[in-house]
A and B are shown apart, each in its own frame.
Chain A
Amino acid sequence: MNRFKLIVATLATCLLALPAVAEVKIKEVVSPGGITAWLVEDHSIPFTALELRFRGGTSLDAPGKRGAIYLMAGLLEEGAGDLMAQDYAKALEALAASFSYDTSKDTTSISARFLSENRDEAIALLSDTIHQPRFDQVAVDRVRGQVLSGLRSDTKDPNEIAGKAFAAMTYGDHPYGTDGKGTIDSVTALTRQDMIDAHKAVFARDRLYVGAVGDINAEQLGALLDTLLGDLPESGAAIPGPAEVTIPGGVTVVDFDTPQSVALFGQIGIDRDDPEFFAAYVMNQILGGGSFESRLMTEVREKRGLTYGVYSYLVPRDLAAVYMGSVASANDKMAEAVQVIRDEWRRMATEGVTEKELQDAKTYLTGAYPLRFDGNGPIASIMVGMQIQGLPIDYIATRNDKVNAVTLEDVNSFAAKLMDPDGLHFTVVGRPVGLESSAQ
């Protein structure tokens, strides 16, 4: 039972420490076949973490096929080559390797870890998984049943209801406006051929990013990459264009009979490559970035006891940027929580932050940076995130300088420009007393 659950901002990586510096020596490796990867060699434990990420994610679903890519990713562990699902699982168990799959709006990821002593066998199995997934009809139906069960549960989950409503309002018909898991109707209608098409849409070399960490050297990694990925097609489905963001100020109440209301709130955000991004990042840390000391936690939880947790987070996705937050509060307290949060939004816009807040935030952000590099898997994932964001390979050594370079004037002029208390929208799911949907 944690004191609170941290919500990690969607920011990828950052910096160097003020105390000791995490030394992460990244090497760029280009395989003989021309595949680029970032590598951190560490031979102290005899295994390797390999992260493969393909840009596009569930936003590549074909029209009318919502949920196809999510279902396809769920089927990758359901048999490949000559092995049907259970024999495939047994083969993986016998190698003591693990492959996991994840899809988001922007990416599809494969996270693998395998022992040094049977690396070749593990890679052969992973290669079959990527190139020859079986998509047996019986497996399609079985996994579809699991997805549908999850979708049915989502219809009664206040957090899911809030997320769907906020996304639909914000992004409309753009793929960001709907759930990548699909709907009960769309998933029910998916066919085996749709899985084959979704597979083709996602896995291609022109959108591939690779990170490897652990007991492997550059030469071994190069050979492995060609075996594993050399035969991928050059290109896949076209990535959609940017989403238009529409967030009117106000409140939407979605009626749901539950004792505690759940709210998502948000406004327009800022792109990751915007020159003011670090000013925004520091500002958010002070407002609601996940520590006990944030203004939102202080005002909503510590002083008033209105919630167990309240957070704000920048969401700079590939195709749109928003600034979001979340809170949960008993039905008879949500109205006050909403008011306090909107007041804090206004205070940030009009008063900005203090020099002490700025210094504390910088010390925290720079000091916390090396704590992220805490294992082969996390480091591989961070390196892939850096590549996707177009950051240079020496970024880790310079990131803290970027945080430290942010001035009080940078934060406060940015806050005055971005923070829009009247444009902030709250989507509340529950039976909040004294809150009603604003007139549209």
Chain B
Amino acid sequence: MIKRIAWATAILSTSWTTAAIASEELVSSFELNNGMQIVVVEDHRAPVVQHMVWYRAGSADEPKGQSGVAHYLEHLLFKATDKLEAGELSATVAANGGRDNAFTSHDYTAYFQRVASDRLELMMSMESDRMVNIRLTEENIVTEREVILEERNQRTDNNPRALFREQANAVQYHNHRYGVPIIGWRHEMETLDMDDALSFYGTYYAPNNAILVVSGDVDPNEVKSLAEKYYGVIPANPDLPERLRTEEPPQTAARRMTFKDPRVAQPYVQRSYLAPERDSGDQETAAALFLLAELLGGGTTSYLANALQFEKQTAVYTGAFYSGMSLDDTTFSLLIVPSEGVTLQEAEDALDGAYAAFLEDGVDAEQLDRIKLQLRASEIYARDNVDGIANRYGRALTSGLTVEDVQAWPDILQAVTAEQIIAAAKQVLQPEVSVTGWLMRDEEVSQ
């Protein structure tokens, strides 16, 4: 049964001279008998489709001692299957004028192809094949392990800011797997083998742990019948484990760290706080934190920029970040890059002072209105990029949210009040759950 979901009517503002945007049915969702969930986002302006399969399996689902195996397996899925030679899937996509790739995060692994819409069936036939049929050789294991180690070199080891973030993240989580890097710790990556990869594959790659997200010039009914033909015949994995992870104990100690590297040219201070994520049916606190990040650090007109870059020239850059899409507890972060001649201690003190003043001053009602107005407009601009909307659903559904939660989110954001934002700030931004890190030049002396 296809359930069509009306795209939320985007009305820019009641106080604005505005034409209401016609409500459009863009998003459909349904489920196959084997438990595979399907979301379709329509856009018929160009004969193009994006076909994605998302697995509810990311680096935070890895067994101890095998960090990086989720991402390693993602690479290995481009090797042979029963039907395809190594590299043949990508070569076939390319031979059909398409592009393909994949990505791994803490909570998901996703594979996608972007191709002419009349090639959708071919994509499904290949993607469904590698859901259960990969055939790896020892040579694949050895060579691809070298590739992921080079990837770690490129992303992390060659970049002091990435090394700093990796350490800070590890300090943030006492007991949850989010403290382990997605790419993996090098010493564990070096030991990953065939058994590790196939064990992760056998456990998590199954239709009842996957979501098909198709966007572009497609008819939902046709997607449904094709999906039944290719994905519907794959049996569900009856042994799929419940997604339980070791949880954080109460965090009761503010943590501080310094990271020094001779390759650092621009020192800065970063502070993160353990923060609640968007929970299904309970997104209000997350919405308040999302708006808090915008108010504090969302560009030129934000509170921190005004206090630290305009009224005083303490910083060349300030920012606030919150990503609510996460299965378990996430982080809320603040960043200050000091101006030339300002020490890290002075920068941190200025940041603390500005945040305290923000709590004292309260939310600027006009600023909050402008942010909400831009969020409403962003729903109009988003329709120019339905692949972006599709990605939103893929991330949400692998992060414990439902289609209904995604649909409700814009209205929840609009309903957040200034009082709720301040309350969320006071509740979440507590020293005991924080990690304050200084990224320093090697020669710099900490105080």
Contact = CB atoms under 8 A, between A and B. Distances in A.
Interface of A: 1-4, 6, 17-22, 42, 44-47, 49, 77, 85-86, 89-90, 93-94, 96, 113, 115, 117-118, 141-142, 145-146, 148-149, 152-158, 257-260, 262, 291-293, 301-309, 328-330, 333, 360, 363-371, 373-377
A95 B142 CA distance: 55
A149 B148 CA distance: 32
B103 A257 contact: no
A65 B24 CA distance: 53
B266 A153 contact: yes
Interface string B79-97: 0000000010011001111
Contact of A1 (B78, B103, B119): B103
Nearest to A304: B143
A1 B105 contact: yes
B95 A364 contact: yes
Contacts of B94: 291-293, 360, 363-364
Nearest 10 A-B pairs (CB), nearest first?
A367-B97, A305-B146, A96-B377, A20-B47, A19-B116, A260-B153, A89-B300, A308-B151, A305-B143, A156-B265
Contact of B47 (A19, A259, A360, A365): A19
Interface string B375-400: 01110110111010000000000000
B99 interface: yes
Contact of A306 (B145, B146, B376): B146
A328 B150 contact: yes
Given A94-B373, A367-B116, A86 B310 contact: yes
B13 to A, nearest CB: 9
A90 B263 contact: no
A3 B306 contact: no
28 contacts: A3-B102, A19-B118, A20-B47, A77-B300, A86-B301, A89-B299, A96-B377, A113-B381, A117-B17, A142-B313, A145-B316, A146-B316, A152-B265, A257-B263, A258-B158, A260-B157, A291-B90, A292-B90, A293-B87, A303-B143, A305-B150, A307-B150, A360-B91, A360-B94, A363-B94, A369-B97, A370-B46, A370-B47
A22 B46 contact: yes
Contacts of A85: 300, 310
Nearest to A363: B95
A118 B12 CA distance: 11
Contacts of A20: 47, 116-118
A152 B370 contact: no
B177 interface: no
Given A20-B47, A145-B340, 8 more contacts: A20-B118, A93-B373, A257-B263, A306-B146, A363-B94, A364-B94, A370-B116, A371-B48
Contacts of A306: 146, 150
Contacts of A371: 48, 97-99, 114-116
Interface in B276-310: 299-301, 306, 309-310
Contacts of B348: none
B370 A93 contact: yes
Given A152-B266, A153-B266, A367 B150 contact: no
B351 interface: no
A330 B150 contact: yes
B291 to A, nearest CB: 14
A78 B78 CA distance: 47
A360 B306 CA distance: 55
Contacts of B143: 302-305
Given A115-B380, A156-B265, A371-B48, A259 B157 contact: yes
Contacts of A329: 150
A376 B382 CA distance: 11
B154 interface: yes
B301 A93 contact: yes
Given A260-B150, A371-B98, A22 B263 contact: no
B19 to A, nearest CB: 6
Contacts of B19: 46, 117
Contact of B98 (A46, A118, A154, A368): A368
Nearest to B94: A364
B337 interface: yes
A368 B377 CA distance: 31
Most buried by A among B97, B103, B376, B387: B97
Contacts of B309: 142
A2 B103 CA distance: 5
A172 B256 CA distance: 47
A155 B330 CA distance: 34
B388 to A, nearest CB: 9
Most buried by A among B21, B45, B143: B45
Nearest to B313: A142
Contacts of A89: 299-301
A146 B313 CA distance: 11
B193 interface: no
Contacts of B265: 152-157
B385 A148 contact: no
A157 B114 CA distance: 33
Contacts of B249: none
A5 B91 CA distance: 17
B158 A328 contact: yes
A45 B46 contact: no
A287 to B, nearest CB: 15
Nearest to B16: A117
Given A89-B299, A94-B370, A363-B96, A149 B337 contact: yes
Contact of A292 (B91, B114, B381): B91
A77 B300 CA distance: 10
B183 interface: yes
Interface in B2-31: 12, 16-19, 21
Nearest to B70: A1
A433 B437 CA distance: 34
